[in-house]
Amino acid sequence: MPRDKERLRAWARKRYHQRKLEDPEAWEERQQKQRIISAAWHKKKLAEDPKWVKENQRYQREYRQQKRIEDPDKVNREWREFSDKKRAEDPDWQRGRDLQSLESAKQRRIRDPHKMSRYSRVKRLKKLGITHEDFDAMVAVQDGRCAICNEKQPKQEDGRQFHLCVDHCHKTGKVRGLLCRTCNTGIGQLRDDPILVKNALDYLLR
């Protein structure tokens, strides 16, 4: 990177923090306006070109991976230097930052109470190789019922049937169907072994 660009970025970072310290309320107001403008721009861009989001995400992911390869410890090193400097200047800085993070998390939960549940669910479904649409289709096929006990499962506050678990073979990874938590736990305790299930059935029929 040319030195003039390095100096420009250093000056921009310094000025950014100066403005935040000089007038926190005005700084936060400018940040909020920028977030609104950015959200509107992304929404417009997505409407004009739906493929743009995936292409942009792919580019950002590859860029970060390349940067990590070039200097694996850069982010951690810069953060350690910054945080050490802040703690030296203000012993209560870390506590204030923690309280700010807790308040931000609280506000996010107020704005969207089910965001983390959806995020966790997406991660779980992705590990199993299925999407939201696949899960909803399975729910429709089973009419919201467990594939073993055939009991209809209640929906949560956001309308999603999180009470249904995606059952899969732990050896092959193949998705078999949707079960209630009780049945899913039951076959898990029997180690997904048909022989053990048959033995349990014979035992119950004595």
The residue ranges of every structural domain in the chain are 3-113, 118-204
Q: Please give the average per-residue pLDDT across 87-111, as a whole number.
A: 87
User: Could you give the 3-state DSSP secondary structure of residue 149?
Assistant: coil
Lowest mean pLDDT among 66-70, 113-117, 131-135: 113-117
* Spatial CA neighbour of 167 closest among 179, 153, 150: 179
Average pLDDT over residues 12-31: 80
What is the value of pTM for the model shown?
0.47
Tell me how many helices (H) and strands (E) the chain has.
9, 2
- The residue type at 108: R
Find the mean pLDDT for residues 161-169.
78
Please, what CATH class does the domain formed by 118-204 belong to? alpha beta
Round to whole Å and give the CA distance between 24 and 30.
10
